[in-house]
Amino acid sequence: MRTLTIANGQELENVIRAVERGEEAAAGGEAHLEQQLASTRAIVEAVRVRGDAAVAEFTQKFDGVALDPGAFEISQSEIDAAFDTVDRELVGALERALENIRAFHARELRQSWEETSEDGTILGRRITALERVGVYVPGATAFYPSSVLMNIVPASVAGVEEIIMVSPPSFNGTIHPLVLAAAKVAGATRVFRIGGAQSIAAMAYGTGIIPAVPKITGPGNIYVTLAKRLVSSVCAIDMEAGPSEVVVLADAQADPREVAAEMLAQAEHNPDSVAILVTPSAELPGRVETVIEEELRLLERAETIRESLARFGTVYVVPGLEDAVRLTNVLAPEHLSIQVEDPMAVFEHIRNAGAVMLGGGTPVAVTDYYAGPNHILPTGRRARFSSPLSAEDFRKVTNYVSYSKERLQRDAGDIMRLATSEKLTAHARAVEIRK
């Protein structure tokens, strides 16, 4: 990791400007982005034009699995059989996590409303669930049953009738049994063993086998992310998810083991992951690095962690806690772990973060898996303007109006004046003929 000591306000301003210009490693990197975008565009276009045949070709090319389009979908009997092979204690953990996630997301739902004025005019807003959605569950290098829950449960809570799940066939030519068990527990309607950019295009445009959906959610690699970007003109997406990231905001009171644990946990995702420590303590970084070296001897993904920390691991030593808060808000991280003497007092000043863990006793893993909040979060400083995936992301709003004759007579003059000022005389005339 690199350490940057910020000695004064001017140096802090320089760092903040560098972050805002993308010169600091605040959001990982997308090497060869233009080449990746061109490759993704070719995949998306091929699927749009040739449908299932193109999906089958890319599945064999990228996943090494030869599938006839008729074998894309996993039958309910296959899902049930996979479910039966999973350890019962693990299934129980999935079910308990699901209940926590369901309870949390149920609190997010807004209600439709309608009001009628004395003259009979009706104004209202109707909120309805999307009829069908597609959810992407990554699985090329690891298996993520937690992502199944985080995608499907809020959609179910929102009232979506049909939930299409796709995931790469990276476990013996199919989807890992644990992921299929999670799909069964969460309530996926249909499951397809396809992944990558081709699966995103298939859900966006529809094929003979895979239905088109109005919205796609779920994280994936850079090709999945770019495919979501490319199809966003024909269907909605949740967000463009980049590499995993964490900022640990810690003071001298923080336990270096707990600080190191959060940095290691994010760094193990992949070499592009970002782990950052922001602290006013000059002593803490050294203690944290010592713990990291000790822990790396015990961790299975030590090589990935070392590469991630070497590329994007950063320590900012700032003059004071207020400076740490300011820099953190600029970094706008996906995950923020606040490990200070009074976490709640610091949290009052945090505006930009996808998910916040208060205190050293709250690991990021509790929200990744179990507590209830969604772990599909804005990355790459998008927490400045974006939010975690929620049940409301699977619903839409329709506004409606029924004007009374009395109300139209009263408001006609203003409406006509405004329409005329914009030189939209047909709009004005539409009111005038009713007047």
Q: 431 forms bridges with which residues in the sheet?
A: none
303 is a catalytic site residue: no
Active-site residue, from 334, 349, 375, 392: 334
Active-site residue, from 105, 269, 335, 375: 335
240 is a catalytic site residue: no
Active-site residue set: 334-335
